[in-house]
Chains A and B, each alone.
Chain A
Amino acid sequence: MAEERPAKWGLVVDLDRCTGCNACIVACALENNVPFVGEDEVAYGRALYWIRTQRYWEGEYPEVTPTFQPVMCQQCGNAPCEPVCPVYASVHSEEEQINLAVYNRCVGTRYCANNCPYFARVFNWFDYELPEPMRSYLNPDVTVRRRGVMEKCTFCVQRIVRGRQKARAEGRELRDGEVQPACVQACPAEALVFGDLSDPESRVSQLARSQRRYHLLEALGTLPRVTYLKGVGNHGG
């Protein structure tokens, strides 16, 4: 078997396609066993969205319009959350080259969330019990987190691993588009594209070279793996 080339996983968010429908949020939550916290906790800002849509209003009535920007963990190459963790729970994985959370190491200092410029990390303030028989739908590939643990988007690392194992078993390389995080798979507008950035021919690489590209808070030098393509006006693009 040929030696495997490590993949550099990346995500492109095309804001011209994104409608702000929020299907990604639900797809993510049910794939990753993200608990719902209820009305009061959402009001306190303790909802556990791994991906959220930032909606900003622009303009004045009647030219007012919302802009939508889905924000998830940017999987920084130079991640501010990593060096501050006292227990090495926020680590960079060598194989996927993404930023992962080791839940059983986490002691809940929340330093990482404090240091994340994208507000991508969320904290389990409580244990969120699921009444029977709702536990039946929990995804067995993903750990169920308990109180006091930090969590965040993992690019659905369980799907990456599953795809890689399948390709290995079949003695081939992963095909472009074979591995998709839950949000990408669900996105009805096909605004999210996921793939290997180290393969210049992959769809995600091609889109990440678009003239419309930008990164969130680029000046911080965090080297995000998520590229945004800006929405275009009436006759631009």
Chain B
Amino acid sequence: MSEKISRRDFLKLTAMGAATTAVMTGCGPMSRYVVRRPYTQMPEYNQTGESTYYASTCRECPAGCGIIVRTREGRALTIEGNPNHPVNRGRLCARGLTAQQGLYNPDRIRAPRFQGRSNPATPGRDLTWDEAVQVVATALQKPPQRIAFLLGLAPDHLYDLVSELTQALGAPPPLRYNALAALEGRTTLIEAVRRLFGSPALPYFDLAQAEVTLAFGADFLQSWLSPVTYTRAYGAMRQGNPRRRGELIVFEPRQSLTAGNADRWVPIVPGSEAHVVLALGQRVAELRGLPVPEAFRAVRPEEAAQVSGLPLEQLETLAQTFATATRPLALVGGSALTQPNGLVTAQAVLALNALVGNLGQPGGVFLSAAAATPTPLAEVKALVERMQAGEVDVLFIHGVNPLFEVPAALGFEAALARVPLVINFAAFPDETALKSDYLFPDHSPLESFGYQRSLAGSDRPAWSALQPVVVPLYDTRATVDVLLAAAQASGQALLPYRDEVDFIQQKILPLINAGGFYTAPEILTFWSRWLQHGGWWTPAAGLPTPTLERLPASFGTLTPPTPPAEGAFYLLTYANHLGDGSGANRPWLQELPDAMTTVTWNSWVEIHPRTAEELGLKDDDVVRITTPYGSVEASVYRYPAIRPDTLAIPFGQGHTALGRWAEGRGCNPAQVLPAGHNAAGDLAFIGTTATLTPTGRRRPLARVESKEGVYGEH
């Protein structure tokens, strides 16, 4: 068919084409609305020898740092921080810097696949995406109450879409879970903020301008909420203020990287954080000449000293340091929250900030601009019970690996076997993917569109944008597109979106008039700027100020920790640079020495050298750690900065799947954690006790440090 085009029309079209080309600077390899150009104008990603940079968002943890990916000839080379991004200001952490090892990982799932899960005799087979969409469409026609979605903490746009989908279907809302969030006590923190300040948001602590900071358990330099933001703030806190170098005091039973950088580390008994905060609060109020709030009177200082093992005089010195500081700040997270008293601790620390009047002040506490989604273990538990009772017909999983991340004591694996249809959108063959019926792999984050809008580290309202920096390597498909296609194929008018890009554009439409640092007359121009800048944020910093109407009379019941029985120890786990364990298949993250121990490629058990000596243990002796929930084995690492009554195992290793670099190394502490939760529904494991049995074997750890000079031996 030939169309007749008049000369005048031709000129009009050409002019329009030129205008569109000028506008589409943000268009990348996956641009869906392609503008045709003559071959002399090659797309920017095809210019041999020229680098093209794309702004996107890191998805290696939920913090949502802005990244700029350098590409050449369609390959993603290096990942750099986005200098304008409000979360990280051009900086990145080790996890974000290895994202290309996820993209180009040889163990990725390369096509949609059916696995013969229920019957090992049934061979698995590859599917086409049309078949896959049909499978999802059929699954969505099950009774809505019997459909369940389990998602990770990233990406937010998928969560928003699934929320709309489940609402349209009448199914239960999607559930989110992430081991990193569980270890950092995110849900407890959100709940404490909701109870005291009325809205479910994450707090933002202005560490950069604080002069005396007390941190309870929050390992903000390595894993907590937004480590790059807080590390940047830490640098500024130390050397950014010409008048005074900020001081940092950390309370936790095992010295984390944050405590290692503190001016003072206070190793209190695990589980006694709430007692210490309440006692401190009483003295701070008195020293500041304020009436002591009722809620802080729940514990006597002598009792707190006795429970925590912190002498009264030291408590007094700390209270004086904090009360007399010009800009005091108290932070809370991690091991101070993941325990039965967690919600009390979280509220008490937030109230302590209110007591010294730093809410909304420089160097004080603010609220994040966006509402935060909690990730409660209690709801995962409820889901497991429903699965176990045969009340779930179809389970959709994306961005989370429950068989690795959820404490084994919860019985997720047995419950999963009772679900007749498990559809997993995993990009990697992780533990859960291998136990699913269908694998419908999503693109890798560097091949995806999307957004993160819950940014704990942003000092202003912000949305962070994801865009593909390379053309997808394999036959993968965006999960949002699969769900939209399936919703359409199921015959009901469930969702009013054409595809993923259309969905994101409709979601960001309100931002056009929301006072960002750029705007546009219509969505396509706005969209290209959104991609070009890697998101949207306001030009000036500014976050909501929390307002405390009235302190409750009590923060909740307080249980003192039970000391371990003779020969037993407190056991704790923590996230290092491997995060929630999904980073274990990045070889450079494996090769990276752990910051405190310099151990690579494996797990270890941290034992105080004195305790090790009493037990006759040396470095690299393999020991068995047993709790009522299970047992794991790992090599001993004599760690001088841990309480002598405490053992610690890092989280993230011990994979039985997830590819060649992750499998079969170390142990997974989730195997020995309890499945209990605190009043906020968050995982509560601090206070768990374990016994230690030598196995008589040795397995040398690959350490970068030399032990010469530490213990006078090699």
Q: Which residues of A contact B (CB under 8 A)?
A: 14, 16-17, 19-23, 25-27, 29-31, 36-40, 42-43, 47, 49, 52-53, 55-57, 60-62, 64-66, 68, 131-134, 136-140, 182, 185-191, 232-237
B18: Cβ under 8 A from any A Cβ: no
Q: Which of B254-305 contact A (CB under 8 A)?
A: 255, 257-258, 260-263, 265-267
B106: Cβ under 8 A from any A Cβ: yes
Query: Smallest distance from the beta carbon of A67 to chain B beta carbons, Å?
Result: 9
> Which residues does chain B contribute within 8 Å of A23, judged by CB atoms?
91-94, 97
Q: Which 5 A/B pairs are nearest by Cβ-Cβ distance?
A: A189-B235, A39-B601, A43-B702, A188-B231, A17-B235
Give the complex CA separation of A57 and B80 in angstroms. 32
B93 touching A42 by the CB < 8 A rule? no
Asked if A188 meets B260 with Cβ closer than 8 Å, knowing A61-B640, A64-B641, the reply is no
Residue interface mask B217-242, A partner, CB < 8 A = 1: 00001100001100110111011000
Residue among B235, B245, B589, B644 making CB contact with A237, cutoff 8 Å: B245
State which of B35-43, B335-343, B481-489, B590-598 sits at the interface with chain A.
B590-598
Residue contacts A-B, CB under 8 angstroms, 29 given:
A14-B235, A14-B239, A19-B221, A20-B260, A20-B261, A21-B577, A22-B94, A23-B92, A27-B97, A29-B591, A30-B100, A30-B588, A37-B591, A39-B600, A42-B591, A43-B700, A49-B704, A55-B705, A61-B610, A61-B641, A65-B255, A132-B106, A136-B104, A137-B77, A182-B78, A186-B81, A186-B93, A188-B91, A190-B91
B587: Cβ under 8 A from any A Cβ: yes
B72 touching A140 by the CB < 8 A rule? yes
Asked if A19 meets B76 with Cβ closer than 8 Å, knowing A134-B104, A137-B101, the reply is no
B493: Cβ under 8 A from any A Cβ: no
A27 touching B92 by the CB < 8 A rule? yes
> Which residues does chain A contribute within 8 Å of B261, judged by CB atoms?
19-20, 68
Query: Smallest distance from the beta carbon of B645 to chain A beta carbons, Å?
Result: 12
> Which residues does chain A contribute within 8 Å of B703, judged by CB atoms?
43
Total cross-chain contacts (CB, 8 A):
188
B700 touching A137 by the CB < 8 A rule? no
Most buried by B among A37, A39, A140: A39
B238 touching A16 by the CB < 8 A rule? yes
B473: Cβ under 8 A from any A Cβ: yes
Select from chain B the residue with minimum beta-carbon distance to A182.
B78
Query: Smallest distance from the beta carbon of B642 to chain A beta carbons, Å?
Result: 8
Select from chain B the residue with minimum beta-carbon distance to A48.
B591
Give the complex CA separation of A60 and B644 in angstroms. 13
> Which residues does chain B contribute within 8 Å of A14, judged by CB atoms?
235, 239
Select from chain B the residue with minimum beta-carbon distance to A134.
B104
Query: Smallest distance from the beta carbon of A22 to chain B beta carbons, Å?
Result: 6
> Which residues does chain B contribute within 8 Å of A182, judged by CB atoms?
78
A186 touching B596 by the CB < 8 A rule? no
Q: Which of B74-106 contact A (CB under 8 A)?
A: 75-81, 88, 90-94, 97-98, 100-101, 103-106
B75 touching A136 by the CB < 8 A rule? yes
Asked if A62 meets B94 with Cβ closer than 8 Å, knowing A26-B589, A137-B75, the reply is no
> Which residues does chain B contribute within 8 Å of A235, judged by CB atoms?
245
B247: Cβ under 8 A from any A Cβ: yes
Q: Which of B84-133 contact A (CB under 8 A)?
A: 88, 90-94, 97-98, 100-101, 103-106
- Contacts A43-B700, A62-B267, A137-B101 known; list 16 others, CB within 8 Å: A16-B239, A19-B235, A20-B261, A21-B577, A22-B94, A23-B92, A23-B94, A25-B94, A29-B591, A57-B641, A60-B640, A64-B255, A68-B261, A131-B106, A134-B106, A185-B90
> Which residues does chain B contribute within 8 Å of A61, judged by CB atoms?
267, 608, 610, 640-641, 644
Give the complex CA separation of A29 and B598 in angstroms. 17
Residue among B94, B238, B601 making CB contact with A21, cutoff 8 Å: B94
Query: Smallest distance from the beta carbon of A211 to chain B beta carbons, Å?
Result: 13
B602: Cβ under 8 A from any A Cβ: yes
Give the complex CA separation of A140 and B50 in angstroms. 11
> Which residues does chain B contribute within 8 Å of A134, judged by CB atoms?
101, 104-106
Select from chain B the residue with minimum beta-carbon distance to A232.
B245
Give the complex CA separation of A138 and B588 in angstroms. 13
B78 touching A36 by the CB < 8 A rule? no
Give the complex CA separation of A25 and B75 in angstroms. 22
Query: Smallest distance from the beta carbon of A234 to chain B beta carbons, Å?
Result: 5
B710: Cβ under 8 A from any A Cβ: yes
> Which residues does chain A contribute within 8 Å of B103, judged by CB atoms?
137
> Which residues does chain A contribute within 8 Å of B93, judged by CB atoms?
21, 23, 186, 188
Give the complex CA separation of A57 and B77 in angstroms. 37
Give the complex CA separation of A55 and B700 in angstroms. 20
B665: Cβ under 8 A from any A Cβ: yes
Asked if A133 meets B101 with Cβ closer than 8 Å, knowing A39-B702, A64-B255, the reply is no
Give the complex CA separation of A64 and B88 in angstroms. 31
Query: Smallest distance from the beta carbon of A151 to chain B beta carbons, Å?
Result: 16
Query: Smallest distance from the beta carbon of A35 to chain B beta carbons, Å?
Result: 9
Residue among A42, A65, A140, A185 making CB contact with B702, cutoff 8 Å: A42
Give the complex CA separation of A133 and B701 in angstroms. 30
Select from chain A the residue with minimum beta-carbon distance to B221.
A19
Select from chain B the residue with minimum beta-carbon distance to A234.
B263
> Which residues does chain B contribute within 8 Å of A16, judged by CB atoms?
238-239, 245
Give the complex CA separation of A22 and B600 in angstroms. 12
Query: Smallest distance from the beta carbon of B520 to chain A beta carbons, Å?
Result: 29
Give the complex CA separation of A31 and B78 in angstroms. 6
> Which residues does chain B contribute within 8 Å of A62, judged by CB atoms?
265-267
B265 touching A65 by the CB < 8 A rule? yes
Query: Smallest distance from the beta carbon of B105 to chain A beta carbons, Å?
Result: 7
Give the complex CA separation of A236 and B247 in angstroms. 11
B232 touching A188 by the CB < 8 A rule? yes
Give the complex CA separation of A186 and B704 in angstroms. 22
Query: Smallest distance from the beta carbon of B237 to chain A beta carbons, Å?
Result: 9
Give the complex CA separation of A234 and B591 in angstroms. 34
Select from chain B the residue with minimum beta-carbon distance to A37.
B591
Give the complex CA separation of A131 and B660 in angstroms. 11
B596 touching A26 by the CB < 8 A rule? no
Select from chain B the residue with minimum beta-carbon distance to A20.
B595
A39 touching B665 by the CB < 8 A rule? yes
Give the complex CA separation of A158 and B247 in angstroms. 39
Residue interface mask B200-214, A partner, CB < 8 A = 1: 000000000000000
Give the complex CA separation of A190 and B577 in angstroms. 19
Residue among A26, A42, A234 making CB contact with B704, cutoff 8 Å: A42
Select from chain A the residue with minimum beta-carbon distance to B97.
A26
A137 touching B76 by the CB < 8 A rule? yes
> Which residues does chain A contribute within 8 Å of B587, judged by CB atoms?
36
Give the complex CA separation of A185 and B228 in angstroms. 13
